[in-house]
Chain A
Amino acid sequence: MRDKTVRRRRALLALLVALSLILISASFGGSGGALHTVQSGFLDVVSPVETGASKVLTPVHDLIHWVDDVFHASSQRDTYRRELAAADRKIIALQAGAQSHSDTTKLHRIDSTLQLSPDGPVDASVIEQPDGLWVSNVTINAGSGSGVHVNDPVIDPDGVIGTVTAVAPSSAIVTLLNDPNSGVAARDSSSRELGLIVPESGNNGALEMQDVSRPSEVSVGDLIVTAGERTTQNASFFPAGILIGKVTSVSATNDTVTVSPAADLTSLGTVQVLTSVPAP
């Protein structure tokens, strides 16, 4: 009984395999004309059913496509995010490079205009900005190793920013113009009036020109530059003619001249330390 079943099973398998091979041989290479007629006839019959089934299954089809698209969109979004972050980093680096280049170019133009080369200018970058309302110091990445000394004047592309007050081998602290202990001898470039630039009391962002002998000669809009001499004992010494700021108001009642600093003391980038200014 079992042998009979086995024989039957094997016979059927052999029959089906043989039938398949015959079909392959007959239809291979377009040789089976009759079979192709059967095939095209079958397609004619089945095609409408397939079309109907396709329409019925369209929502399922669309759903799977949608899921596939969502995954695809998700991976695309991740790729674009990575590319955007890389592009942002590149832009930031380029902008920083461009800003630094622009600052250096401006500084070198100032050096050339004011003939500061003998004053030993040393380029440096601010590595720590003023932190908070009461702090008016910055740290730069040049120190005694670069020839920087205490009391060296420091400028940026827009004008005077302050004086070196502490030096380490590879860094230095610059006390800005708006520090209460700061004082720079200055001159009104129009009227030639001399004075001392100090921070305006109660206003961290503005400067005041004190000790002006004839304030009435000073006008709003006048440019204030370094005097190139020590007007008082407390004044730091800067080479003459470097821009400090612009006069914003002149008070006739108490002879006060208010000056807006040319340099943005809250956001400093590339600076220059004048390391060999000859003593007055």
Chain B
Amino acid sequence: MNDATNLVLRLAALAFVSVLIQVAAVAQIRIFGVNADLAPLVVASAGFLTGALSGAAFGFGVGLFLDLAFAQTLGVFALVFTLVGYGAGRVRELRAPEAPFTPLLLGAAATAIAAVGYAILEITLGATSPVGLRLVRDILLGIALNSLIAVPVYSLVRRWLIPALPEDPRRRRRRAYTTGGLSPLSRP
């Protein structure tokens, strides 16, 4: 099995398990009056680790899965998470941030984009839920709550995906060890 197939399988398993945990457990637990939302964190982490192309596809898959699981208007979550996955991948490609708090900021931004994007789409589609301070408060609390779990979620996703990633740092380390720290091309 080549790396690309391995990555696709791992992403599919990640999407299935994360949506299942979100629907079966996390969505039912309210902390400070709001739910944590694993989906934007997982999509952003996967997009950040695998790139914009895979991130967008993964986000679309996770979103579609959620649309189906929550029996709501198809395509809403799919559209929002496509953009989140793509955006996270582009951040990595353009900036390649290495700071230790990057996962936290990434999680907060992904949650904010997902929450605001979802709210805009729902309102555009004629949702009757009240738009006001309550909605803003819930979005802000959701972002805060997700920021708390962003780092561990990113670590788990990274641990799961890293064996299938082409730029696996462990491989780089292994290669460095066997070649004395130099690329075989640079040997005299």
Q: Is B155 an interface residue (CB 8 A)?
A: no
What per-residue 1/0 map shows which CB atoms of B76-100 lie under 8 Å from chain A? 1011001100100000000000000
Residues in A with CB closer than 8 Å to B71 are 39-40, 43
Which label, helix, strand, loop or mixed, suits the secondary structure of the B interface? helix
The stretch of A23-31, A237-245, A255-263 that contacts the partner chain? A23-31
Q: In the complex, which residue of chain B has the Cβ closest to the Cβ of A22? A: B75
B23 at the interface (CB under 8 A from A): yes
Binding stretch for chain A, among B38-46, B49-57, B128-136, B163-171: B49-57
User: A65 on the interface (CB 8 Å rule)?
Assistant: yes
Interface class of chain A by DSSP: helix
Total count of chain A residues near the partner, CB < 8 A: 35
Contact assessment for B82 and A50 in the assembled complex, using a CB-CB cutoff below 8 Å: no
Residue in contact with A27 in the complex, picked from B28, B60, B74, B79, CB distance below 8 Å: B74
| Inter-chain contacts of A9 with B (CB < 8 A) | 52-53, 56
B24 an interface residue at 8 Å Cβ cutoff? yes
Q: Mark A21-49, 1 if CB is under 8 A from B, else 0.
A: 11111111000100100111011001001
Chain B residues with Cβ below 8 Å from A68 are: 29-31
B176 at interface by CB-CB < 8 Å = no
Give the chain B neighbours of A46 by CB distance below 8 A.
68-69
Does A12 interact with chain B (Cβ within 8 Å)?
yes
Q: Is the CB of A32 within 8 A of B74?
A: yes
Task: Answer yes or no: B185 CB below 8 A from chain A CBs.
Answer: no
* Residues in B whose Cβ lies below 8 Å from that of A82: none
Task: State the CA gap A39–B37 with chains docked (Å).
Answer: 22
Chain A CB within 8 A of B1 CB: no
A residues adjacent to B (C-beta < 8 A) = 8-9, 12-13, 16-17, 19-28, 32, 35, 38-40, 42-43, 46, 49-51, 53-54, 57, 60-61, 64-65, 68
What are the nearest 5 A-B pairs in CB distance?
A23-B75, A20-B79, A24-B75, A53-B24, A27-B74
Q: Which residues of B contact A (CB under 8 A)?
A: 20-21, 23-25, 28-31, 52-53, 56-57, 60, 63-64, 67-69, 71, 73-76, 78-79, 82-83, 86, 121, 125
